[in-house]
Amino acid sequence: MSNSDGLFYEKVNDAFPESIIEVVDFRGERTLVVEQAYLKDICLFLRDEEDLVCNFLEDIVADDMLPEFPRFAVNYHIYSIPKNHHIRLRVPVDDPDDGPDSVGTVWPVAYWLEMEVWDLMGITFKGNDKLRRLFLPEDWQGHPLRKDYPLGYEEVQFSFNWQAIDAKKPYAKD
Amino acid sequence: MTVGMNLGMPGGDNIQELSVEELRAKYGSGLEIQSEENMLLSMGPQHPSTHGVLRLLLELDGETVVNLAPDIGFLHTGIEKNMESKTYTQALVMTDRMDYLAPMSNNFGYILAVEKLLGVEVTPRAEVIRVILGELTRILSHLVWLGTSALDVAAQSVFLYCFREREYILDIYEMVAGQRMMASYFRPGGLWRDVPEEFVPAIRNFLDFFPSRIDDYEALLKENPIFHKRTKGVGVISAEDAISMGLTGPSLRGSGVNWDIRKSIPYSGYENYDFEVPLGTEGDVYSRYLCRMKEMRQSLGIIKQALDRLPDGPVQIDDRKIVPPPRSELGRSMEAVIHHFKLWTEGFKAPKGYVFQRVESPKGEFACYLRGNDTSKPARVHFRTPSYVNLASLPIMAKGLFVADLVAIIGSIDIVLGEIDR
C-alpha cells in the first residue's frame, strides 16, 4: 500500500464531498469508486493539486460486471511521476451509450485509450469525437469484450455432414 | 443482436458509389486532412520498416509529413477475450504471444498479477531466477530493436551481429523451458521447474563475452556520421509531451524523465539490486538509442548481482492448491493424486477482486489488470501494453519531417505489433 492512499481520499473528499461512493482496499491497492458526473473534475483536480500532481494516466480499463448492477465499470489508473504514488478511480457506468466524460483534455493520451475501450467494450465517452473502430474492421457490429457477446461457434465439418454445411458456405460455387 | 462482419462489400456499401469524403471518413483512420492539395499515402501494412503489420496513413506535402494516423488491428487475435474462457494457468501461454520478442517479460507481468490476486509470495530462489531471466529478456528485446532499427537507417551489418548474440539467449531459453521463444516458464507460485546445472555457467559465459559485443555494436554506430545525420535531432519529443502522451520505457527516458518501475514501484525484489537508470537529454532518436545501449549494460550488472546471490532452495511455493505435486509423490500419496487431478482439470480458484500489476518490460510499462470472481477462470484480463500506448505519440514526433525520418522514428520507439493488437 502506498503511503499516499489516505491523502488521496482526504483531498478528493474535501474537494468533492458527494463524489465518493466507496473506498475499496484489496491486496494493497486503493480504489476510489466515484460518481460518473464528477469524474472529469476529479481528474483535473488530481492533476493540478500541489500535493498530488498526478501527471500520468497509465491506463483506462473497462469491465463488464454482468449480471451485477450497474453493469459496466471503467477504471482509471492514475500515477504521479514526481510524487511516486498512484490511485485507481473506478466509475460505475449504467448505460454505455451515456458514458463518462472524456478526460482527453486532462491527459491527451486518454483519447487513444478511450478508443480501445469503445471498440472492444462499447462504452462511449462524452467529448471524445474521435471514437472509431481501432482493432476491428470499420463495419464490425457489436463489442466483443462484453459478456453477452455471442462467440459464434460454428459446427465442425465432418465427412458425414459435409454437404449440409457446404451448402450454407458463402463462396462462389460452380 | 447482430454481430460480426458483413460478408460482401465492407460496410455493406458499394465502394464505387461512395464519394471521396465518405471514403475518407470511413476508412481514413481518423486522419484530419489539413489541405486538399496534399497527397495521401498509405504506408503499410506490408512494409518492412513498420516492424510488422502497422498501416500509417500519411498526408504528405512533397516528401514532408504534414499529418499521420496509425491504423492498427491487423494482428488482433482477441487474447483478452480468449483468456476469459481459460484457466489462469492455461491463459499464461497467450501472454508469450503478445510481445513475441520479449516473451518472459509478458509472463512476468501476468504471473505477478495472478500471484497478487491469490495473495501468495514466491520463494527467494524463484524470485532471483525471474529477475535473471527478466533482464536477459530485456537484452534479447533490445538486440532485435538494435538490429532492425539500424537496418531501417541503412546500417545493414549490425543486424546479423545482434542476431548472433540473440541466438545465445534463445539457447538459454531452451535450456530452462524447452522452448526457444514461447517459454511460459514462469508459473503461478514459482517456476515450471528448477534451472538445470549448466544454467549458471552459461550465464557467466554470457556475462564474460557480451560487454565486448556491445562495444562492437557501438563501434559500428555510435560515432558513425551517417547514423548521426539520420538520428540526431530527429523525432524530438519534449518531456512534458512524452508524459502527457503516456510514453514509457526507454522512449520516455530518452526525453530525460527519470521513471523506471523497477525503481519506483519495485517488484520481485528489484529494490535489492544496485543499478542506474540511463537518461537521455535531447528526446530524439539518438537519445533513445543511447538509453537502450546503456540499459543493456545495466541489465548485465543486475544479472551479475543476481547470480552472486542466487540462493538454494525450492523454486515453487509449498501450496498444493496452486502448485501441482511432483511426479514422485503421485505413486504413494492419495492427496497428491487428488491435487494433481483437480489442478489439471479445474485449476485453482482466485478470490473476488481486481488487481493491477505493473512491470518494466523492455519496451516500457507493461501492466496487467485482472479481475477474479471466485472461479478458476479470470473474469476480465486487460493488458496495458507499452507498444500500444507509445504509438500514440508517433504523430507528435513525426510531424514536419521526411518519410525517411519517420522510418527511423518507428524504429526508435520499438513497437511490436503483436503487442499492440493483441
Enter the C-alpha cell of residue A139: 463495419
Residue B338: its pLDDT value, please? 92
Whether B29 contacts chain A with CB within 8 A: yes
The pLDDT of residue B3: 46
How many other C-beta atoms lie within 10 A of the C-beta of residue B325?
Answer: 16
Residues B183-200: tens digit of each pLDDT: 889 999 889 888 999 999
What fold characterizes domain B79-318+348-397+407-421? Cytochrome-c3 Hydrogenase; chain B (1.10.645)
Contact B117 A116 (CB under 8 A): no
B32 Cα to chain A: minimum distance (Å): 10
Residue A88 has pLDDT above 70, yes or no: yes
Please write the tens of the pLDDT for every residue from B132-185. 999 999 999 999 999 998 888 878 888 899 999 999 999 999 999 888 888 889
Grid coordinates given for B404: 525517411
Q: Which three cell numbers stand for residue B307?
A: 547470480
E strands, B272-312, in order: none
Going along chain A from its start, the domains and CATH numbers come out as 5-168 (3.30.460.80)
What are the residue ranges spanned by the domains of chain B? 10-67, 79-318+348-397+407-421
Residues of A in contact with B379 (CB under 8 A): 63
- Are A26 and B73 inside 8 Å of each other by CB? no
Give the closest of B81, B355, B371 to A29, CB-based: B355
Specify the pLDDT at position B1: 38
Q: Do A29 and B72 touch (CB under 8 A)?
A: no
Taking only the tens place, the pLDDT of each residue in B388-416 is 999 988 888 888 889 888 888 998 888 88
B62-66: long-range contacts (C-beta < 8 A, 24 or more apart)? B63/B402, B63/B403, B63/B404, B64/B400, B64/B401, B64/B402, B65/B398, B65/B399, B65/B400, B65/B401, B65/B402, B65/B403, B65/B406, B66/B34, B66/B35, B66/B38, B66/B399, B66/B400
Quote the pLDDT of residue B16: 63
> CB-CB: which of A75, A109, A134 is closest to B246?
A109
Contact A150 B3 (CB under 8 A): yes
pLDDT, residue B4, reads: 46
Separation CA B122–CA B101 (nearest Å): 26
Cβ A57–B246 below 8 Å, yes or no?
yes
Alpha-carbon gap: B62 to the closest alpha carbon of chain A (Å): 27
Kindly indicate the confidence band of residue B318, based on its pLDDT and cuts at 50, 70 and 90: confident
Does the structure show a pLDDT above 80 at B11?
A: no
Residue B97 contacts A where some CB pair is shorter than 8 Å? no
Over residues A40-83, the pLDDT tens digits come to 899 999 888 888 888 899 999 999 988 888 889 999 999 998 88
pLDDT of res. B135: 93
Is residue B5 predicted with pLDDT exceeding 50? Answer: no
B194-215 average pLDDT score: 92
Residue B107: φ, ψ to 5°: -55, -45
Which residues of chain B neighbour A58 with C-beta distances below 8 Å?
A: 246, 358, 365, 367, 384
Secondary structure percentages of chain B, helix, strand, coil, to 5 = 50, 10, 35
Nearest-Cα residue of chain A relative to residue B31: A130
Q: Give contacts of B77 with chain A, Cβ < 8 Å.
A: none
CA distances from B335 to B94, B315, B320, B328 (A): 31, 21, 9, 13
